[in-house]
Amino acid sequence: MTVPADIPADEVPFDPSLPWRKSPSVALRPEPFGALVYHFGNRKLSFLKSKPLVAVVTALEAHPDVPSTLVACAVPEAQHPAYVTALATLARSQMIQRRTEESA
């Protein structure tokens, strides 16, 4: 998917078939409910409300796309759409970003 350069990062469509990773500007702080996620660049704070979602976000970089990450993290197939929605939200807030060859 080619995205025009004039589209802001928070409006780029999320494509789960592409490689993704946690943004290098993001820190995860483990919590009993999951994790706090803080972006040092845009100063946004988010919450990952489950430990399995934290595992998925952390594992994104090791897999070629979102579906293979979900399978590797043993997310039940029936829950995949909910995880894709959560990851799309994280992408819009720049907590995760598309992985490119330069960022790999």
Per-residue model confidence as pLDDT tens digits over 76-94: 999 999 999 999 999 999 9
Q: What is the pTM of this model?
A: 0.84
Q: How far is CA 59 from CA 1, 43, 69, in A?
A: 22, 23, 6
Return mean pLDDT, the chain: 89
What are the b/e assignments for 52-88, b being 16+ CB within 10 Å?
Answer: bbbbbbbbbeebeebbbbbeebebeeeeeeebeebbb
Q: Which fold has domain 17-97?
A: Outer Surface Protein A; domain 3 (3.90.930)
| Mean pLDDT for the stretch of residues 60-87 | 97
Residues 6+ apart with CB under 8 A from 32: none
More confident residue, 68 or 12: 68
pLDDT of 100: 83
What residue segments make up the domains of the chain, in order of their start? Answer: 17-97
pLDDT tens digit string along 43-56?
999 999 999 999 99
Beta strands 45-48; 96-98: pairing state: unpaired
Element (H, E) at 21: strand 20-22
Confidence of residue 4 (pLDDT cuts 50, 70, 90): very low
pLDDT of 73: 98
